[in-house]
Structure 1
Amino acid sequence: MTGFLSTFSKPFQLAVLLWPFVSVLLTVPAAVYLYRRDNRLRPVSVLGAYTFTLYVLGLGCFTLYPWPQDPAAYCATHHLGAQLNPLQFIGDIRTDGVTAILQLGMNIVLFVPMGFFLARFFRLPSWVAVAVCCATSVCIEVAQLTGIFHLYPCAYRICDVDDVIANTLGGAVGVALGLWCNRAFPTPRIDKTEVTMHPGFLRRCVSRSPWTWALSRCARCCRLCCGRISGMEQSPLKAARSLCCPACGSCCSKALCHGVPMDAPSAASSPG
């Protein structure tokens, strides 16, 4: 093991050193999403977002990294392909015994946190969370097969369909744990009718951050696309509210954001 890691020591040490700091930067958009969704930002939510970001970066690091330092020499002597037999793990267990069992178990455990976080913190439906885990595993295996999408000149790890099955199973276990935690320890419900008429400093900072601008524009585009596909266009008042009010809470007039019902007629058009 020491001889194997010595080939990758410098890049691997650099990745480990940068891991916590990069996680802090990537936690910001997750915290913005949680703040916009819940209209508050609890310490446990920030800790959960940071832990999830730390886990995702670690997942990518340990499944795709490190790679051999001498690409020409490695690719000349190694020709790795894809293992597409979904029952190959049975033969591996017969041949390697405990080693193959531990590898299968680790592939399952590796995706349990992802399923848990998606179900517990991000509150995705169970089938969506499992699908995200499966898609993530497929992307990892394709990246291994293509040398991180041709960033490396050849495949340096084996693409195994059994890994996708084991990862998806682990994600499903994590989703089940998250759903159990949601029932056993439910989060306090938020009254959606309460409107922040005087947003504080934290809300103003979040509303004016680049991440909020990007998220609000993406959400706006998704709503417009879904409305056009379904044939139900948004009214101008509703479109303005969806574009402006959720992002800031103070940049719109009170009549537009808070004082006028969705379908109420204006004063100019009202009779008498």
Structure 2
Amino acid sequence: MVASYWETARTGFLAFVGVGALALLPLVLLHYWRFGRVEPRRAFVLYGLLAYGLVALALIFLPFPADASRLCQGEQMLSTVPFQWVTDMRNNMAASGQSGITAMVTSSAFLQQMFNVALFVPLGVVLRKAYGKGPLAVVAIGLGVSLAVEVVQYTGNFGYYPCPYRISDVDDLISNTAGSLLGWMIAPVALVVPRLPDSTDATAPTGTATVPRRLLGLVFDLMLVAVVAKLVLPADLRWALGALAVARVVVPAVARGTTAGGWLLRYRVRRDDGSAANPLRLAVRELLGVTGLMAYAVVVSPLIDNAALDLAVITLVVVGTFVVPVFRRDQRGWHDQAAGTRVLLKENGDVRTPTPVERPHAAPRP
């Protein structure tokens, strides 16, 4: 029985790998649209629930019957007697001439019910630890989900099969609900499940320039440099690199932190406190960011000819500049953190400093 459960769980996990890959981009876009960032704990919990749900569904419904015509054989596919599994366990033990605790806990009836309990424990853990639900809400949700499963089973997956291929059992409702409550009870020690922050704590501060906006501004700067290099400068990448340094360091130093792309997208590079960033900070920021990556590609990489190091540098800069900010409230990458800068929106020619979102007074969680 354990081997069959393992194989079914493996099928559910493989389904999660495929579905999870398809859901990754929509999840990122949804979080960014709602919060202005991807909150790591919320993303972790959502992905965990997706994995748990698909594995649980696989364990509940798989394997599907190979021959649907052999289903309707007159068997009783509905059990409405509470704790019938206790009677079944005793009958099995009596038939095999066994007794005692060892025989009880190794009987198929007992193991089946313990499996039904364990199946819903993660649901109770997540509902309490991540979402702050109380015991009554957890019991109600666990009972509702279990009841929905039993209805689907009893209707032959809503009529897809002519007859049910799994028994709909009131004991399953009891065991699943008990599992949800057990999960609620042990949730405080489930360290792997984070408590989700309030939406106000997950949202990027007002006035922070988002990563897509800054990326568009960077693309505009690069296009402008490419046009200038093509029309004006000698055909040498080092001249183009110099033009990029001017566009990304010198111009912001004299234009209050604004590049050509920043002017178009209405954002500026400022210090942490919103004041003007000096040229040194701007130079450090660019050296550790895109301009530094371009300098490495044009000057350093041809000299050392090391593909592994090239890949490591590209990965480090891309992750630090564009991936890390997606998960941070202040949208600052490693280059911003090292330089003590941040990218802020402009309003009417002035910089709008990020302001914390006021948190409403909420009732204490149980």
Using the alignment, how far apart are the partners of 1:202 and 1:161 within structure 2? 52
Structure-1 residue corresponding to 2:184: 175
1:122 paired residue among 120, 125, 131: 131
1:111 aligns with 2:158: no
Deviates more, 1:14-23 or 1:111-120: 14-23
Secondary structure in 2 matching 1:157: coil
Using the alignment, how far apart are the partners of 2:154 and 2:214 within structure 1? 45
Q: Report if the CA contact (8 A) 1:116-1:174 is conserved.
A: yes
1:163 aligns with 2:172: yes
Using the alignment, how far apart are the partners of 1:87 and 1:78 within structure 2? 23
1:173 Cα deviation after fit = 1.2
Structure-2 residue corresponding to 1:197: 207
Distance change (3 Å), C-alpha of 1:94 and 1:109? same
1:121 Cα deviation after fit = 2.2
Which runs of structure 2 are paired with 1:1-272 in the superposition (5 Å)?
17-26=14-23, 40-72=37-69, 74-77=70-73, 79-96=75-92, 97=104, 98-179=107-188, 195-201=205-211
1:13 Cα deviation after fit = 8.5
Q: Report if the CA contact (8 A) 1:134-1:167 is conserved.
A: yes
Distance change (3 Å), C-alpha of 1:192 and 1:12? closer
| TM-score when normalising by structure 2 | 0.45
Larger-gyration structure (1/2): 2
Letter in 1 for 2:210: G
Secondary structure in 2 matching 1:77: coil
List runs of 5+ in structure 2 lacking aligned partners: 93-103, 216-344, 346-354, 356-366
Q: Report if the CA contact (8 A) 2:113-2:175 is conserved.
A: yes
Using the alignment, how far apart are the partners of 1:199 and 1:124 within structure 2? 34
Superposed CA offset, 1:163-198 (max 9, x none): 11010010011122225559x986677658984223
* Matched pairs, number: 203
Secondary structure in 2 matching 1:79: coil
Superposed CA offset, 1:129-166 (max 9, x none): 32111111011111111111111111001000011101
Identity across matched positions, percent: 30
Superposed CA offset, 1:230-259 (max 9, x none): xxxxxxxxxxxxxxxxxxxx9xxxxxxx9x
List runs of 5+ in structure 1 lacking aligned partners: 206-249, 251-257, 259-272
Secondary structure in 2 matching 1:174: helix
1:62 Cα deviation after fit = 1.2
Superposed CA offset, 1:46-101 (max 9, x none): 233212101101111110122112111x2243634210111212202212342221
Q: Report if the CA contact (8 A) 1:112-1:172 is conserved.
A: yes
| TM-score when normalising by structure 1 | 0.59
Using the alignment, how far apart are the partners of 1:176 and 1:14 within structure 2? 30
Q: Report if the CA contact (8 A) 1:27-1:53 is conserved.
A: no
1:43 Cα deviation after fit = 3.5
Distance change (3 Å), C-alpha of 1:91 and 1:185? same
